[in-house]
Structure 1
Amino acid sequence: MQTGFRLNLSPVKEPLGFVKFVEWLTAVLAFGTCGGYSGRNVLSISCSENSTETLPFSFFYPFRLNQVLLVENNATLCNQTVPEAHLIGDSSSSAEFFVAVAVLAFLYSMVALLVYLGYMHVYRDSDFGPIFDFVMTAAFAFLWLVCSSAWARGLQMVKDTTSTTGLHSSLHLCQTRLGACEVTEYASMRSLNISVVFGFLNLIVWFVNAWFVYKESRWHSQKVNARQAAGQGPGPI
């Protein structure tokens, strides 16, 4: 059996290769829409009828919100000296997990495509290749389910913490002056919402691809052969 590189573009025209290309693309879009995010909100504090303080703050990936400084220690707001204040919460674990799965899925899809395009003759002539591919594809489908669910929850925490209600909990001045604090400028979180959509889209694509990879494995061929043998019945005596 020849094991050298032999370029063949036909696998990309088949579901096995085409879906793998889609996995590669959706993985890029998933970590691209989350990993480079940076946003800026502006909190307005009404000190009196004619006096308003503005408090801008920025937050970004990996969303360690409890490290985002709102007010420096002994700063003056509304003619009051206020203590140091930070945002509340930390979504870094879910965000980093999501991006890590996306990057690994991107790398695995790229390697798998290389195998399909150059070593498909070796892939289909061995038992190890399709079985390993199936196990990895099923594992990534499960990882997409976990990381997308975790990131969806983490993103909701980011939205809650950077909202007017969340800032009332972060800044003592807002607690003593009820109704005086309001976020007047919100950063667009469209790309983060899209990242969650791509996360669950990846779940669907990898789950579908697991079936096509399974059909290439000896597990599927053995089951088909067993059914065919059962359908033929016993031979003539």
Structure 2
Amino acid sequence: MTGFRFNLIPIKEPLFFIKLVEWLTAIFAFGSCINFSAENIVSVFCGDGKNQTLPAKFHYPFRLSQSPLIDHNATLCDRVVNTTYLTGDSSSSVHFFVGVGVFCFLYCMFAGLVYLGYMHIYKNSDLGPILDMVITVVVVFLWLVCSSAWAKGLQNIKDAVDSEGIAATVALCQEQNITCQVTEFATVRGLNMSVVFGYINTFVWALNCWFVYKETRWYSQKNFSQPGPTRHPTVI
């Protein structure tokens, strides 16, 4: 009763199918940001007509305060500018987001193994479905929180590397007759998609709560306790 019994029947059930969907959406969520690297091109317009450019590089895990914008005391507009770093640090929010995604990725594989090899134990025990239900509810909450945190962190990144953020970071850009403007924007489509998939994961895991709940004793006891239709004797 406790051994591994490989069975493909659960593949046809929603419980397994939705775990496969969760596994894929988790990959898309954290995979869209962990290898991300890009740069905006900042044009510095000097008052004497000279133009110079700076690369505003940003990459995972987005510790912008450690990303140099001006390095090695460069000369800009005939002025020596000290080493200057971008402003902000979104590493905590993106690490939280990626951590939840990796956990869900691993848990879906573990749950899929249980469904395919130990479904006879899963369905005949109270602990398995209840534990699955509790984890699913907790994951819904975690996806909602980490997606919201990462969405805010991503917005902070965008603000830090746009024209206003660069101008506020570089003291030279605040002088008269000197303008700093981002003239080439890197695409952040992958980061935007990571946030979208974060909220998709929230929805999918919330939907999964129903299918896991149907496997628990709470659902079976509720259906068992419901009275059947009352039949009245026929009067002749």
Matches within 5 A, 1:47-126: 47-48=46-47, 50-72=49-71, 74-126=73-125
Deviations 1:26-64 (A, max 9, x none): 001111001111111111101145411111131111111
Q: Which amino acid aligns with 1:206?
A: W
State the alpha-carbon separation in 2 of the partners of residues 228 and 130 from structure 1: 25
Q: Using a 3 Å threshold, how does the CA distance of structure 1 residues 193 and 179 change in structure 2: closer, same or farther?
A: farther
Gap runs ≥5 in structure 2: 232-236
Q: Which amino acid aligns with 1:65?
A: L
Matches within 5 A, 1:1-237: 2-48=1-47, 50-72=49-71, 74-177=73-176, 180-228=179-227
Q: Using a 3 Å threshold, how does the CA distance of structure 1 residues 147 and 134 change in structure 2: closer, same or farther?
A: same
Does the 8 A contact of 1:151 with 1:196 survive in 2?
A: yes
Q: Which amino acid aligns with 1:154?
A: G
Q: Which amino acid aligns with 2:185?
A: Y
Instruction: Give the CA deviation at 1:71.
Output: 1.3
Instruction: Give the CA deviation at 1:232.
Output: 6.1
Aligned length: 231
Instruction: Give the CA deviation at 1:74.
Output: 3.2
State the alpha-carbon separation in 1 of the partners of residues 12 and 5 from structure 2: 16
Q: Using a 3 Å threshold, how does the CA distance of structure 1 residues 211 and 70 change in structure 2: closer, same or farther?
A: same
Q: Which amino acid aligns with 1:6?
A: R
Q: Would you tell me which structure has more helix in proportion to its own residues? A: 1
State the alpha-carbon separation in 2 of the partners of residues 117 and 49 from structure 1: 72
State the alpha-carbon separation in 1 of the partners of residues 51 and 18 from structure 2: 55
- The RMSD of aligned alpha carbons is 1.6
State the alpha-carbon separation in 2 of the partners of residues 140 and 228 from structure 1: 35
Q: Using a 3 Å threshold, how does the CA distance of structure 1 residues 75 and 179 change in structure 2: closer, same or farther?
A: closer
State the alpha-carbon separation in 1 of the partners of residues 222 and 181 from structure 2: 64
Q: Which amino acid aligns with 2:214?
A: K
Instruction: Give the CA deviation at 1:73.
Output: 5.2
Does the 8 A contact of 1:73 with 1:85 survive in 2?
A: no
